[in-house]
A and B are shown apart, each in its own frame.
Chain A
Amino acid sequence: MDYLLANIDFTDWWLRPFSERWWQETVCSMLVGITCGVLGCYVVLRQMALIGDALSHAVLPGVVIAFLVTHDTGVLGLLSGALLAGVLTAVLIAVISRLSRTKEDSSIGIVFTTLFAIGIILISTMPKGVHFDLNCFLFGTPLGVDSSDLLLMAIVCPTVLGTIVLLYHPLRASSFDPTVAAAMGIPVVLLHYLLMGMLSATVVAGLKTTGVILVVSLMITPASAAYLLTNRLGTMMLLAGIFGGFCAVAGMTLSFATNWPSGATMVVFAAAIFCVVLLVSPSQGLLTRYLQRRRMRRHIQEEDILKAIYRLVGKHEAPGQHLVSSEQIYPLARVSRRPAERIIHTLSKEGLLYQKAEHVGLTDQGIDRAIQMVRAHRLWESYLTEHAGVTAEEVHDQAEELEHVHDLADRIDRDLGHPETDPHGEVIPRPADEQAE
C-alpha cells in the first residue's frame, strides 16, 4: 500500500495541468489537432487514409537526412526533409501504379515501407555520438518538445489551415469530380501534390506530440466522425477541426495528470468521439437507425392489430358493443402473442381500444384510425394499379406495406380524382367530415 501511494504523487496532480508547460504544449497540440482534423477531411473524402499512413512513415528518411546534414532538429531542416520525402512518396506511388499493373494500395505499401527501411538503415550508419531517437519519431515524446518544435507547429499549422481556406473551392471541386475539374482547367495534379505536401508538413509538426504511428488517427478519426454528422463540406471541416482540437487538449491534459503518453491519450479521445457519433449521429448513427426501424416496426404492428380488430368486429356494430377474443387477433394481424399483448396494452392506454377480460374492442377513436388505414390501403391499391402497372392480384401485398404511409393518402385521393372503389371493387371509405358533406 505504501509502495502504491509513494508512486502516485497526490500533492500536485491537479495543478500540473495548468502549469506554464501545460499551456505551451496544449496550445500547440491544439493547433496540430485542429489542422489534422481539417486537413483530414480531404484525406477521408479522397479516400487517402492509406496514403496518409504511408506519408507519415515515409518522412523518416527525409527527417534523418535533414538531421544528418544540419546535425540538429532545426525547424527548417526537418520541414524541408519531410516535404521532400512526402512529395517523393506521392510521386513514386503515382508513377508505379500508373505505369504498371500494380494496384494503388500495393504501390503505397511498397513505397512507404521501402523509404522507412532506408530511414532505419541511415540511422544505424550514423557516426557515434550522434543520437537520433527512433522511438521519439515513432511514438512521440511530449516531454521532449522544445521551443523549436513549438515554433515548427506555430509555423506549419496556420499555413496549412490558411491554404485550405484559400483554396477551398478548387480543392472541393477537384476532390468531388477530378475529371470535370481537370477539364475546367483546375490544376488537379498540382492540388494533389499540394495536399501531400501539407500532409507531410503536418505530420512533422505533430511528430513530437503523437509520433508518426498515431498521427494518422488524428487525421482520419475526427474527420470521419464529422463526415457522419453533416452533408456540407464546410460544416464537416469545422466539426473535424473542433473534434481534433478537443482531442488534443483533452488528451494533453489527461496525460499531464496521469503521465500517460499524450499521443495515445489523444487517439483514445478521438476514437471515443467517433464511437459516440457512430452510434447516435442523427442521420447515420447505428443506434439511431436501429431505433427508427424499431419504432417503424412497432407502428406497423400497432396499425395491423387495429385493422385486425376492425375487420373482426365488422363495421356495422356500434362502437363499444362488440368484443373480440385476443386469440383471434394475433394470426390475422400477423403479430406473435407477446409483442401483441404489449401493443394492445399501449393502445388501450392511448384510448384506441378497451379491454374486458380476454376480449378487446375498439373505441370511437380506434375505429377512426382503422378506417383511415383501410382508406389508405385501398387508395394505394388504386394508385399502384393505375400508375405503377401492378396487377390486381399482386397489389394487395404491396399496399399492405404502403398503407402505413397514410399521410400521403389525401394526395393520392386528389391525384386519382377521388375514386369510389378500389381495384377489387371495395368502397374506399372517406373521413367522417367529408362524408357529412
Chain B
Amino acid sequence: MRSISFQLRAGTLTGIVGPNGAGKSTLLRSILGLIPIDTGEIDFFGENIHQMRSRIGYVPQKQSVDWDFPVTVLDVVSMGRMARYAGLRRLFGRPDAADREAAWHAIEKLGLTELADRHIRQLSGGQQQRAFLARALCQQADLYLLDEPLTGVDVATEQTIFALIEELNANGKTILLVSHDLSILDRLDQVMLLDRRIVAMGPPKQTATEENLRKTYGGRLSLLDEAEAELMRMK
C-alpha cells in the first residue's frame, strides 16, 4: 500500500470500501501499530498512536480466534477493560468493581445478558460478533475500528450494530468501519474507496460515483503493478 493519507473528524462514521486484497484490514492493523509502516506517521488528537492505544477499540474479523478456548462471554467482554490499564497494571492488574460494571453494561447493551455465562462456542455467529463488539465497547474508547462487523451475522445483529454505531456517533465517538459490501453506503458520513491506495474519499453521494467505483473494483493500475512486482524480485 502506498500514499495513504486521510483525516477523520470526531463523531463521524467512515466506511472503508474496496475489493478483496485492497488492504482494508492491513490499513486498520497499521493504524493500531500491529504492522510496521515503512514511512509516514499516524496522529491521534495530535499525539503518537502508541500512547493512545487505550482510546482505540478494535473489533477484528470474526474468524480470527480459537472458538474452543475455555472462556465465557463475560470473560471475553471483560478482556476489553485491559486496554485501559496503564504501566505495570497492564501485566498484573485485576478487574475491579468499575471494570465489572462496565463489562456488564456492555453485555446488556448488546443483548447478551442471558448468555453471559455461556461458553463462546455455544453462541450463534451473530452473538459471537456482538460479544466482540461488547469487548470493544466496554473499553470506552474514542475511536473504534471495526473490521467487517456485518459479515455472517443475522438481521437482528445487524440492526443492533447499526443502532450501537449511531449511539456511539451521537456521543462523539469516531468509527472507522471496513466492509466489502456497498449496501452500507447511505449510512456513512464519509466513505473511503480503497484499492491499495485511496481512490476517492468524501461524502458517499459525491464519492461513490460510477467512475470511482469502477476505478476501485475494476482492476489495478497495471504499470504500478508491474513496477511493484519488479521491486519484489529485486528484494
> Which residues in A have some Cβ–Cβ distance to B below 8 Å?
45, 166-167, 169-170, 172-173, 175-177, 179-187, 227, 230-233, 235-236
Contact = CB atoms under 8 A, between A and B. Distances in A.
A269 B137 CA distance: 46
A233 B71 contact: yes
B202 interface: no
A185 B69 contact: no
Given A167-B92, A180-B58, A231 B83 contact: no
15 contacts: A169-B94, A170-B82, A172-B71, A175-B69, A176-B65, A176-B76, A177-B64, A179-B60, A183-B32, A184-B54, A184-B139, A185-B83, A187-B91, A231-B72, A233-B70
A45 B64 CA distance: 15
Contacts of A183: 32-34, 53, 56, 58, 83
Contacts of A230: 70
A186 B79 CA distance: 11
Given A185-B54, A185-B83, A170 B69 contact: no
What interface size band does chain B fall in?
Answer: 20 to 34
A158 B142 CA distance: 41
B56 A177 contact: no
A236 B29 CA distance: 32
Contacts of B82: 169-170, 173, 181, 184, 186
Interface centre among B32, B64, B70, B92 (most CB of A within 10 A): B70
Nearest to A226: B70
Contacts of B80: 184
A231 B34 contact: no
A185 B119 contact: no
A256 B60 CA distance: 54
B218 interface: no
The 4 closest A-B pairs by CB, nearest first: A184-B83, A231-B119, A185-B53, A183-B32
B9 interface: no
Nearest to B60: A179
Given A170-B82, A185-B53, A232-B72, A180 B60 contact: yes
Nearest to A176: B69
Contacts of B135: 180
Nearest to B58: A183
B152 interface: no
A177 B70 contact: no
A186 B33 CA distance: 12
Given A183-B32, A236-B70, A166 B92 contact: yes
Q: A173, A232, A233: which has the most chain B beta carbons within 10 Å?
A: A173
B157 to A, nearest CB: 18
Contacts of B29: 179
